[in-house]
């Protein structure tokens, strides 16, 4: 995610600077306490479950031994929900300061809608991704459109996802294994960038194939920490996938 071209992202920020923030309300229903996962050093996450997908993935995992040599292919083989909505936090660490980006994501079939949230909860940056195009806007009806790039969803949501693990060079992967995180089966990956020396840890949930958390360190000092804070396996409202002027994206 951090190594890709940021041209489109910079254009999005330019659009946002010209607009006025607008509130986008999304109601996440209460979850059963059994769905709460306590993460190591990163608080907790409320994760909905899909029994059929979980069972399919668990059966596959029972036949495998996961290590650094096959962890990418195993993650790629996991089944994932077709529709869902999630919230996440990504914290960047800069010496003695830190900055947290809170995001929402909605997936409906092959369409994705993302929003970054300002401190007051309003939507500050928005994107809709279709098969061919990405649409970006701030708080008014003006938007810009770009052609999609390969595996670019995390660029516009500004959060990592499981696809980042798949894009790693196999030589950068130090370890891959199955771990248990608060009773949930997780595929754990450790990688190291040979150019920067940054080491990253990733946790992909077996039950849904999605990235639960990730973090990075450089010389033992934290660089970032990501966690999914909430996941609902519900079909998002079609209205979320309309452009700010009310038109349907192509």
Q: What is the pLDDT of residues 172-223, one digit of tens each?
A: 999 999 998 888 899 999 999 999 999 999 999 999 999 999 999 999 999 9
Structure tokens belonging to residue 40: 């190591």
Q: Which of 94-98, 145-149, 156-160, 218-222 has the lowest mean pLDDT?
A: 156-160
Q: What is the pLDDT of residues 132-144, one digit of tens each?
A: 999 999 866 789 9
Single pTM value for the model: 0.81
Contact in structure between 112 and 21 (CB atoms under 8 Å): no
Q: In angstroms, rounded to a whole number, what is the distance separating the alpha carbons of residues 97 and 21? A: 25
**Mean pLDDT computed over 216-233:** 94
Structure tokens belonging to residue 105: 């994501």
CA Rg value for the chain: 18
pLDDT band, residue 237 (cuts 50/70/90)? very high
Query: Domains in the chain, start-ordered, CATH in brackets?
Result: 7-241 (2.50.20.10)
Structure tokens belonging to residue 209: 């194939």
């Amino acid at each position: 995610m951090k190594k890709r071209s940021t041209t489109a992202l910079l254009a999005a920020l330019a659009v946002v600077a010209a607009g006025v923030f607008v509130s986008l309300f999304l109601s996440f229903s209460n979850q059963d306490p059994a769905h709460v996962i306590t993460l190591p050093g990163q608080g907790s996450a409320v994760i909905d479950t899909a029994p059929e997908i979980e069972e399919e993935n668990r059966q596959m995992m029972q036949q495998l031994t996961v290590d650094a040599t096959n962890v990418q292919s195993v993650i790629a083989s996991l089944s994932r929900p077709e529709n869902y909505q999630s919230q996440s936090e990504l914290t960047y660490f800069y010496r003695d300061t830190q900055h947290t980006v809170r995001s929402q994501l909605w997936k409906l079939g092959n369409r994705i809608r993302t929003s970054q949230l300002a401190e007051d909860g309003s939507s500050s940056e928005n994107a809709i991704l279709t098969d061919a195009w990405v649409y970006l806007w701030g708080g008014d009806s003006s938007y810009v459109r770009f052609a999609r790039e390969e595996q670019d969803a995390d660029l516009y949501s500004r959060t990592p996802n499981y696809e980042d693990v798949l894009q790693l060079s196999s030589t950068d992967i130090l370890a891959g294994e199955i771990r248990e995180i608060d009773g949930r089966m997780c595929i754990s990956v450790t990688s190291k960038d040979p150019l920067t020396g940054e080491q990253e840890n990733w946790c992909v949930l077996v039950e849904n194939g999605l990235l639960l958390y990730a973090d990075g360190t450089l010389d033992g000092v934290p660089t970032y920490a990501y966690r999914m804070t909430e996941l609902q396996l519900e079909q998002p409202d079609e209205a979320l996938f309309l452009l700010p002027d009310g038109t349907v994206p192509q």
